[in-house]
Amino acid sequence: MHKARARSAGRRLEKTGILLAAPALALLVLLFAYPIFFNFYMSFFRLNLYVSTEKTFIGFDNYVSILQDSLFYGALMNTTFFALASVALEFIIGLVLALLLSKIKGIWMGILGAALMIPMFLSEIIEGVVGQLLFSPRIGLINAFTKSLFGVEFPWITSKTLAMWTIVIVDTWKMLPFFILIFLAAIVSIPKDMEEAMNLDGASTLQQVRYLIIPYMLPVFAIATVMRAIDAFTKVFGVVYVITFGGPGLATDVVPLRIFNLALRAFHWGSAATWGVFAFLISTILVAMYIFVKRRWT
Amino acid sequence: MKGLLNYLILVILVIFMMSPIVWMFVLSMKPETAILGPPLDPFEPTSAHYINLFGQFGFGRAIQNSLIVALVVLAITIPVASLAGYGLSRFPIPGVQWILVFILFCKIIVPAILLLPLYEIVKTLGLLNTIAGIVLGHLSWQLPFAILIMESFCKGMPKEIEEAAWLDGFSRFETFWKIVFPLMAPGIAVVGLFTFGGSWGEFLFAVSFAYGSSLRTGPVQISLMTTTYKVYWGELAASGILWSIPIIIIAVLFHRHMTRGIRLGF
């Protein structure tokens, strides 16, 4: 009797929970589950809206031609390079700065917090505009400086080897604050008594960093880095669009930009959908990676 | 001595973070000829670029479009994400960890793969050339993040108050509106800030669904100022400043809440 009532109360709770989450889940199914299915379906057709609205079933032909296309590997390499290089720079500089800034307090902390939040919260388009204003061959401020100080100019945006680095530098300006803020929060949460004990034992600052701070922060390192790298890989678009639009040549062609161009500039829908399927598979691997790291470190 | 080094680094970092924006502001006041000349020469400040923005480049319209989109996205995201965050964190839903994995997947996915399907959905609903496409795109970006933040925020709220209210004979929904919702207010504020800021600056979906129409949002309008033939440097800088002002105000006023949101986000 008692048990039966408890069970029905449990079911009622379960129903309330599902009811509360239902609008969100319905929206997510519309926004994600259906689109993923749509990409799979379309990937088996040839459809170029410039030519006609007729679609022809071609089996795996789209897959075969993408796997043989150097554009595909180029975009994958560029996107991976962008994600790894910018996150590595942001991580290292962010860690050093967080360690150096950990004693800041009060109003100064407020000034720092605001100054860090501004670039991080700006639009990716503003990030691109800043990149143009600083690095453009016509009016770029950086070249004006290097020219007057050292007498050299760099082809920041126009050189195939430098263009991606330029985007990485601009992104480091914008996203470095993420690591500084996360690391600062982690350092502040280190138990004070452990720090005092090490001080009493006469440990140097470097020893404290090596034996207390770094081990304590490992989970934060792992989770924050993986999350930022995934974000950098999957979301890079606006900054490239404004600074180089994938060029010069294909030097900064990244996966989101390639899919955008195929879908909405070239109207190669079958091909764009197949790229979408590959991007979906990559996303799945990234999710698995994130869950693995999170389980391992928390 | 050690303290001094701390503050010296702080000052350098703040200058480093702010100088690109300050330089953008300087350029936005420079006459076109001075922009193309040596960068540090003195110049007569002008407001011509800002005036051009609203005349020639239709920025008033862009601001209006961006505000409408951001407000619609906020009006959907906040209630939907708060209810879901509460439901998923507090109730014994079977397989809830799989639902959370699905939401995480939605947050991590490459958003560009949604372009074609969302275009089809909008076309089927007869909503092409309305803000619907942009709003759906923004929701796909904001909603998973907002739900995950609300879920981890709700997990950290004290359970006892709700249970007391429940025992006092409040229904589950009464408990939600009268007790839980006020407790969630700080979390909702954080989600609101991120959602507004994100929508205000979003580019991928905005450029995909409103490139050639009167629905262009600010970021799309800004991207059109660097054409292959001519770059409107002064207007580009001025529009960058204009678009940054709300973000700068929000960051200065609320950076503490936002830092908290970033930590809740993973």
Q: Under an 8 A CB cutoff, do B226 and A242 touch? A: yes
Which residues of chain B are within 8 Å of residue A110 when distances are taken between CB atoms? Answer: 255-256
Q: How close does chain B come to A124, measured CA to CA in Å?
A: 7
Region A151-177: what's the mean pLDDT? Answer: 93
Are the beta carbons of A227 and A291 closer than 8 angstroms? no
Q: Which amino acid is it at A254?
A: V
Over residues A179-199, the pLDDT tens digits come to: 999 999 888 888 878 778 887
Which of B24, B224, B255 is the mutation pick for testing A, counting most A CBs within 10 A?
Answer: B255
CB under 8 Å to B107, separation ≥6 — which residues? Answer: B144, B145, B148
- Give the separation between CA B122 and CA A248, rounded to whole angstroms: 34
DSSP-assigned letters across all residues of A190-225: S-HHHHHHHHHTT--HHHHIIIIIHHHHHHHHHHHH
Interface confidence, given as ipTM, is: 0.91
Kindly tell me the number of DSSP H helices and DSSP E strands found in chain B.
Answer: 13, 0
Q: Is A230 on the interface with B (CB under 8 A)?
A: yes
pLDDT for res B189: 93
From A298, which residue of chain B is nearest by alpha-carbon distance?
B266
In a domain, residue A245? The reply is: yes
pLDDT of residue A97 exceeding 90, the answer is yes
Q: Under an 8 A CB cutoff, do B259 and A284 touch? A: no
| Owning domain of residue A222 | 57-297
Res. A1 pLDDT band, cuts 50 70 90: very low
User: Coil, strand, or helix at residue A48?
Assistant: strand
Cis peptide, bond prior to residue A256, ω within 30 of zero: no
From B22, which residue of chain A is nearest by alpha-carbon distance?
A130
Res. A4 pLDDT band, cuts 50 70 90: low
User: What's the whole-model pTM score?
Assistant: 0.92
Which residues of chain B are within 8 Å of residue A129 when distances are taken between CB atoms? Answer: 24, 222, 236-237, 239-240
Per mean pLDDT, which range of A117-121, A276-280, B25-29, B180-184 is the poorest? Answer: B180-184
pLDDT for res A2: 58
- Which structure tokens are listed for B141? 């970006």
- Give the separation between CA B5 and CA A101, rounded to whole angstroms: 9
| Closest by CA position to B84, among listed A29, A22, A26, A11 | A22
Are the beta carbons of B103 and B147 closer than 8 angstroms? yes
Which residues of chain B are within 8 Å of residue A243 when distances are taken between CB atoms? Answer: none
- Give the separation between CA A259 and CA A176, rounded to whole angstroms: 28
Which residues of chain A are within 8 Å of residue B102 when distances are taken between CB atoms? Answer: 28
Q: Under an 8 A CB cutoff, do A19 and B87 touch? A: yes
Res. B17 pLDDT band, cuts 50 70 90: very high
**Percentage of chain B with pLDDT > 90?**
56
Which residues of chain A are within 8 Å of residue B40 when distances are taken between CB atoms? Answer: 144
Q: Determine the longest span between alpha carbons in chain B, in angstroms.
A: 75
Can you give the length of chain A in residues? 298
Query: Phi and psi at residue B226, in whole multiples of 5°?
Result: -110, 85
Region B178-196: what's the mean pLDDT? Answer: 90
Q: Under an 8 A CB cutoff, do B20 and A30 touch? A: no
Domain CATH number, residue A201: 1.10.3720.10
| Closest by CA position to B187, among listed B160, B147, B158 | B147
Over residues B18-31, the pLDDT tens digits come to: 999 999 999 999 99
Q: Is A133 on the interface with B (CB under 8 A)?
A: yes
Q: Which amino acid is it at A221?
A: F
Per mean pLDDT, which range of A167-171, B140-144, B210-214, B215-219 is the poorest? Answer: B210-214
Residue B109 per-residue DSSP state: S
pLDDT for res A153: 86
- Give the separation between CA A296 and CA A219, rounded to whole angstroms: 8
Four-point Cα dihedral B165, B169, B172, B175, nearest 10: -30
Domain residue ranges in chain B: 63-225+257-264
CATH architecture, domain B63-225+257-264: Orthogonal Bundle (1.10)
Over residues B44-79, the pLDDT tens digits come to: 889 999 999 998 888 999 999 999 999 999 999 999
How distant, in Å, are the alpha carbons of A58, A109, A188, B87, B257 from that of A98? Answer: 55, 12, 10, 37, 19
User: Coil, strand, or helix at residue A252?
Assistant: coil
Are the beta carbons of B101 and A287 closer than 8 angstroms? yes
**Percentage of chain A with pLDDT > 90?**
55
- Give the separation between CA A269 and CA B244, rounded to whole angstroms: 35
pLDDT for res A102: 84
- Cα R_g (chain B), whole angstroms: 23
Which residues of chain A are within 8 Å of residue B258 when distances are taken between CB atoms? Answer: 117, 121
In a domain, residue A159? The reply is: yes
pLDDT of residue A91 exceeding 90, the answer is yes
Are the beta carbons of A102 and A216 closer than 8 angstroms? no
Contact pairs from chain A to chain B, CB under 8 Å: 288
Are the beta carbons of A297 and A223 closer than 8 angstroms? yes
pLDDT of residue B121 exceeding 80, the answer is yes
- Which structure tokens are listed for B248? 């700068």
Which residues of chain B are within 8 Å of residue A235 when distances are taken between CB atoms? Answer: 110-111
Res. A3 pLDDT band, cuts 50 70 90: low
Tell me how many degrees the CA angle B220-B223-B228 measures, rounded to the nearest 5: 135
Region B182-206: what's the mean pLDDT? Answer: 93
Q: Under an 8 A CB cutoff, do B204 and A256 touch? A: yes
Region A148-154: what's the mean pLDDT? Answer: 86
The count of domains in chain A is: 1
Give, to the nearest 10 degrees, the angle between helix A255-264 and helix A214-235: 20
- Give the separation between CA B141 and CA A1, rounded to whole angstroms: 48
Region A35-64: what's the mean pLDDT? Answer: 88
Over residues A51-85, the pLDDT tens digits come to: 777 888 898 989 999 999 999 999 999 999 999 99
**Percentage of chain A with pLDDT > 70?**
97
